[in-house]
Amino acid sequence: MMPFSPKKTTITHYNAKGIVLVKRLPLIIIFVLIILFLPFALAHFKGKNEFTPIKEQIENFKGIDSDQDSLSFDLLKGKMTLVVFGASWCGPCNNSIYPLNNLHKKNQAKGFQILYISCDESIKKMAAFKRRYDMPYPMILINEDISNKFGFTGQIPSYFFLDSMGRVYDRQISRFSEPEFQKKINQKL
């Protein structure tokens, strides 16, 4: 027989008083950690689909639109604006276009507008995307200045609600719900 036999060796855990604890302590620790962190994990995932109120003033920025002209954000101030970050290659972004077009059509006479910021690689791809979905609102290509002003992290689609003074009052990442967005628009119009 070998001096060290894995079959006969057991590891026993003791507390400070020398009392034997449970042999399956690692499993109990894992279970307790799961129970402790479960509420945080649920809150994290729940928050991804809800509006997060923030108080930020968006300063002026410029971008190149689908017609290769420069567009200044200052020209859009004075109306409530939904700023959308998206791209032609993004499935959820594409799925939100028709509901966005509906929101624009229903609310533009009341002082609402949409600015779409494209995360595509080129103006050519952005322009083709705008034509394909017949978007009646301005679309500009993302640049570093725009990313910095919005604190944009690259998650698309992302939606920022701005009041008529250019202050962000709500934002949402990923999920689009036309009735929920309409409710947010009605609160500020």
CATH number at residue 167: 3.40.30.10
Strand partners, 56: 168
The residue segments making up the domain with residue 130 are: 56-188
Q: What is the pLDDT of residue 39?
A: 63
**Count of domains observed in the chain:** 1
Residue 28 placed within a domain: no
C-beta separation of 162 from 58 below 8 A: yes
Q: Tell me the pTM.
A: 0.70
* 29 located within any domain: no
Dist CA 157 CA 89 (whole Å): 11
What gap in Å lies between CA 93 and CA 158, rounded to an integer?
Answer: 9
List, for the chain, all residue ranges whose pLDDT scores fall below the cut of 70.
1-25, 27, 36-55
Q: Nearest 5 degrees, angle CA 80-CA 84-CA 89?
A: 160
Query: Is residue 140 domain-resident?
Result: yes
Torsion of Cα atoms, 106 then 107 then 110 then 116, to 10° = -150
- Look at residue 159 in the predicted model and tell me its pLDDT: 93
Domain membership of residue 42 (yes or no) is no
| CA terminus-to-terminus distance, the chain | 85
pLDDT of residue 137: 94
Rounded CA-CA distance 117/142 in Å is 6
Residue 63 included in any domain: yes
Please provide the average confidence, as pLDDT, over all residues in the chain.
Answer: 80
Which residues face 81 on adjacent strands? 113, 162
- Among 56, 55, 61, which residue's Cα sits nearest to residue 75? 61
Is 86 a member of any domain? yes
Q: What is the CA radius of gyration of the chain?
A: 26
Tokens of 105: 């059509």
Residue 48 in any domain: the answer is no
Asked, for residue 73, whether it belongs to a domain, the answer is yes
- Is there a contact between 25 and 13 (Cβ–Cβ < 8 Å)? yes
Among 141, 137, 131, which residue's Cα sits nearest to residue 101? 137
What confidence tens digit (pLDDT) does each residue in 54-84 have? Answer: 447 888 889 999 888 999 888 888 899 999 9
